[in-house]
Structure 1
Amino acid sequence: MNDLTTEPADHELAARRYQTAARDLEHIVRNIAVRYIVQQVPLTWRLLQAIEAEALADLGFASRHDAIMLGLFQRPSDLPYPETDETVDFGASTALPAVFAFAVSAYEEAARRAAQALPQEAAPLKRARAWGD
């Protein structure tokens, strides 16, 4: 029979473990994305999937978290994305696999910083999204 006094503690521990793993993965993804951002490489579908593969294969990440936790960040195999060199565009979608969301966020943040660094009179009228036009 379930002990009701330990279940909330178990759920809290699981939530903290997930949050820790998510922060760890976000840090890894941002470090990978920055390598491409500083070279001004646009975020294409092929690059996004390469970032995902590298991040999820990170040995440090795998050693810090158990297999069940790692599985939570794997993109479902029935969720295919294009494997092209076209720039990434998710439109208004907010339902992204974790690695994709972290990479897109890193590119958007870089675009915001670049736009803020421009003098006001040199700023373009329409700002392009970091991952595509």
Structure 2
Amino acid sequence: MNDLTTEHADRELAARRFKTAARDLEHIVRNIAARYIVQQVPLTWRLLQAIEAEALADLGFASRHDAIMLGLFQRPSDLPYPETDEAVDFGTSTALPAVFAFAVSAYEEAAKRTAAQTSTEPAPLKHARAWGD
């Protein structure tokens, strides 16, 4: 019985550690993506992979989590993506490496905010003209 309790506690701890690492990585990726979003740089395959490389090389992230945890966020080497300047398009796929998913989500949210801002901005005021002008 004690082994089951210990095993359950170990799984709970591992799940909490994973969630903490995922939130940490998401925060890092969103900060990196925000730099490009502010500059209105479109999300291309090449940029997505640069964001991934920068996020996974973050020294703070590496120092806060052990090597096994870091390995869980590495994209498998047999999962290649284009290295082009074409816009990123995953179609309907929802199976994305974590960094890719976080970056795409940041870009999608920024696009929604921009669309919402442009649709709620009041129309420019029309200057009244006197009759006959």
What is the TM-score with the length of structure 1 in the denominator? 0.88
**Secondary structure in structure 2 of the residue aligned to 1:20:** helix
One-letter amino acid of the structure 1 residue matched with residue 72 of structure 2: L
Whether 1:16 and 2:10 are equivalent positions in the alignment is: no
Question: Identity of aligned pairs, percent?
Answer: 88
Aligned to 1:58: 58
Aligned to 1:32: 32
Aligned to 1:4: 4
One-letter amino acid of the structure 2 residue matched with residue 35 of structure 1: R
Matches within 5 A, 1:32-111: 32-111=32-111
Q: Which 5+ residue runs of structure 1 have no aligned equivalent? A: 123-133
**Secondary structure in structure 2 of the residue aligned to 1:6:** helix
> Counterparts of 2:94 and 2:74 in 1: how far apart (Å)?
17
**Secondary structure in structure 2 of the residue aligned to 1:76:** coil
> Counterparts of 1:120 and 1:57 in 2: how far apart (Å)?
40
> Counterparts of 2:33 and 2:96 in 1: how far apart (Å)?
16
Q: Deviations over 1:89-131 (max 9, x none)?
A: 0000000000000000000000000001013599xxxxxxxxx
CA-atom RMSD in angstroms? 1.5
**Secondary structure in structure 1 of the residue aligned to 2:4:** coil
> Counterparts of 2:23 and 2:119 in 1: how far apart (Å)?
34
> Counterparts of 1:66 and 1:101 in 2: how far apart (Å)?
22
Deviation (angstroms), 1:3: 1.4
**Secondary structure in structure 2 of the residue aligned to 1:25:** helix
Aligned to 1:119: 119
Aligned length: 121
> Counterparts of 1:22 and 1:116 in 2: how far apart (Å)?
29
> Counterparts of 1:69 and 1:101 in 2: how far apart (Å)?
18
> Counterparts of 1:23 and 1:106 in 2: how far apart (Å)?
14
Structure 1 runs (4+) deviating above 6 angstroms are none
Q: Which 5+ residue runs of structure 2 have no aligned equivalent? A: 123-133
